[in-house]
Amino acid sequence: MSTLILFLPPARPGPATEYSYTLTADGHTALRHATAPAALLPEPTRPGGEVVAVVPARALSWQRVSLPPGLPLGAGQQTPRLRSVLEGLLEDRVLDDAAQLHFAIAPGAHAGSPVWVAVCDRAWLRENLQALEAAGRRVSRVVPEFAPGPTASGGPELCALGTPEEAYVVLTGQGPEQGVAVLPLTHMALTLARTGMPPAGASGAGGEENDALMVRAEPAVAALAERTLGQQGQRIALHTSTQRALDAARGDWDLAQFDLASTGRTRAVRKVGSAMSAALYAPQWRAARWGAGLLVVAHVVGLNAWAWQERQSLAAKQAGVRNALTQTFPQVQVVVDAPVQMERELALLRQAAGSVSARDLEPLLAAAGAALPNGRQPTGIEYTPGELRLRGVALEPDEEAALSARLQAAGYRARLDDGSLLLRAEGAP
């Protein structure tokens, strides 16, 4: 399943608002990336593709709260009661009115233990989603640009973003709770970020922690980040917005919760589609795809070999029947339908010897006379080879069943047809 990943703009959307987007087929490699208005955004390249909206780091606030025990937190249990609890817990921690904010709880959160809650402006997020839906790009998931939790390096990481005039850094994996913080790109901010981290080892040496800190930067601010961190010998790795979009879309978060949540069916379809896309296109499934392909090829080859053996066996049997016909009746020069020709030759032999077969008139009349109830006499008799029709025979349902049973035991089939009894030998067509 292909995915269109786009960054939501920091301001509320308008007619000229443009979205930075990345189009991917497997979630790991970008097919295309550019900037376009909502109406000109590309569609996912495969049926069932999804649109993922990324919330910028500076548009989110991360709060750590402990929810009361016994409070349901499932995907289908984001009730007004849960939102009221979150508003009460976060009312003193946020600057805006809690009723005007949107909340999203970390995936896999459990009541009674600390959980991360993402907070952003509700009207801003809703208007962006509505603008995209009006343009025919209905958003399936809303993910954060950076989320709390373990980092790829296993330690704290810094990512420098923005423009040279307004540069900032995002600190991930911060502290024992592995939180997210947004700071100005200044030497003092980086120093505060380092001193706020727990020691890397038992010795608590600052040099060990400096070595453990990974720093990445967008190309636009890479030189500024290099100058800012140059005195500390930090190596800066380039990290584009396309790479951040792909990393964010692969995360487990979905900020579309409470009044913005998708239905259970939509979530299930999205999950199945993502799993199928990963199985078909993700690099980590390449070995499994090769194995499945080899298995299919082996089955196809085996089925063809089995079919060839069956054809050979059938051809041998047909050749045996033809040989039996030509050896038993040498006068037959051309074999068209061996069973029919053999039956015809046998009939000629019986006729020449003066014997009768079950398809002749006398055996048919004898079988009918033995099976008919007493006193039932036909008014007319018609005979064709292998078939006898007795007109004027009327039978009750129980008499018809008994007649059929007696004739079947003698090797004949019988049925009533428009006031007539039709009698045939079992082998007759």
In this structure, the answer to whether residues 165 and 130 fall within a common structural domain is no
| 341 shares a domain with 230 | no
pLDDT tops 80 at residue 321? yes
Q: Is-contact 422 414, C-beta < 8 A?
A: yes
* Same domain membership, residue 217 and residue 68: no
Which of 184, 215, 240 is the last residue before a domain boundary?
A: 240
Do 276 and 174 belong to one domain? no
Residues 307 and 379 in one domain: no
Q: Which residue has the tokens 């979205």?
A: 19
Please tell me the number of Cα atoms within 13 Å of 86 on its side-chain side: 30
For residue 204, pLDDT beyond 80? no
What gap in Å lies between CA 76 and CA 336, rounded to an integer?
71
Kindly state the helix (H) or strand (E) to which residue 84 belongs, with its residue range.
helix 80-90
For residue 348, give the 3-state DSSP assignment: helix
Q: What pLDDT, on the 0 to 100 scale, is given for residue 47?
A: 55
User: What are the Cα distances from residue 144, in Å, to 245, 253, 350?
Assistant: 10, 7, 93
**Domain with 324 in it:** 285-355
Lowest mean pLDDT among 197-211, 218-232, 374-388: 197-211
- My answer on whether 6 and 110 are in the same domain is yes
- Is residue 229 assigned to a domain? yes
Q: Domain check: are 6 and 105 in the same one?
A: yes
245 in any annotated domain: no
* pLDDT tens per residue, range 212-239: 578 899 999 998 888 887 655 567 889 9
Q: What is the CATH number of the domain that holds 260?
A: 3.30.420.380
77 and 37 in one domain? yes
Banded pLDDT at 208 (limits 50, 70, 90): very low
24 and 138 co-located in one domain? yes
Element (H, E) at 412: strand 412-417
- Count the domains in the chain: 4
Instruction: From residue 295, give the alpha-carbon distance in Å to each of 302, 305, 311.
Output: 10, 15, 24
Residue after which a domain boundary falls, among 306, 328, 355:
355
Residues 183 and 328 in one domain: no
Q: Which tokens hold the place of 291?
A: 């194995």
Residue 283, phi then psi, degrees to nearest 5: -60, -35
Q: Is residue 246 part of a domain?
A: no
Virtual CA dihedral for 99, 131, 9, 43, nearest 10 degrees?
130
Average pLDDT of the chain is 82
| pLDDT of 59 | 94
- In angstroms, rounded to a whole number, what is the distance separating the alpha carbons of residues 280 and 352? 73
Asked whether residue 270 falls in the same domain as residue 384, the answer is: no
H or E segment at 123?
Answer: helix 122-134
Q: Do the domain assignments include residue 155?
A: yes
Alpha-carbon Rg for the chain in angstroms: 42
Q: Which residues pair with 102 in a beta bridge?
A: 120
Pick the more confident residue, 130 or 209. 130
Q: 164 CB contacts (<8 Å, ≥6 apart)?
A: 220, 221, 223, 224
Q: Are residues 215 and 312 in the same domain?
A: no
Q: Residue 32 is encoded by which pair of tokens?
A: 């295309």
Question: Which one of 303, 330, 355 terminates a domain?
Answer: 355
The residue among 354 and 145 whose pLDDT is bigger is 145
Q: Dihedral of the CA atoms 356, 359, 361, 367 (nearest 10)?
A: 100
Cα end-to-end span (Å), the chain? 56
CATH number at residue 366: 3.30.1360
Residues 227 and 220: their CA atoms lie apart, in Å, by: 13
Q: How confident is the model at residue 102 (pLDDT cuts 50, 70, 90)?
A: very high
Alpha helices in 213-330 (DSSP H): 222-229, 241-249, 264-281, 286-328
Res 122 pLDDT > 90: yes
The string of pLDDT tens digits covering residues 136-167 is 889 989 999 999 998 888 878 889 999 999 99
